[in-house]
Amino acid sequence: MIQTILETVRQYGVEVFPQPTGAVLIDMDDLVFYEAAMEKREDNAYLVTGNQKHYPFRDYIVTPAEMMKIIEATEESI
């Protein structure tokens, strides 16, 4: 399973060079993920995390369960 996930990331991953947002987070180690998501917001990117309390409240910062619902809803509309 790990190899499948890594191959999927290699195949579909997008390299991002985020601009600094100036955001101050509870855990500044999370800033890289936040800034990458902000850089790709025009592409409807989401930040998926099990630790939402470390980020500001935004509708595009979701839990894994919420992301699965978004994916399922998108699939149904296709």
Question: Per the structure, how many domains does the chain have?
Answer: 1
Pairing of strands 61-62, 47-48: parallel
Q: Is the pLDDT of residue 17 over 90?
A: yes
Rounded to an integer, what distance in angstroms lies between the CA atom of residue 28 and that of residue 32?
Answer: 8
Digit-coded pLDDT (tens) for 39-73: 999 999 999 999 999 999 999 999 999 999 998 99
- DSSP alpha helices (H): ranges in 1-78? 2-12, 31-39, 64-77
For residue 32, what are the domain limits?
2-77
> Of all residues in the chain, what percent carry a pLDDT higher than 70?
100
DSSP helix/strand/coil, 51 = coil
Look up the pTM and report it.
0.79
Q: Which residue has the higher pLDDT, 78 or 8?
A: 8
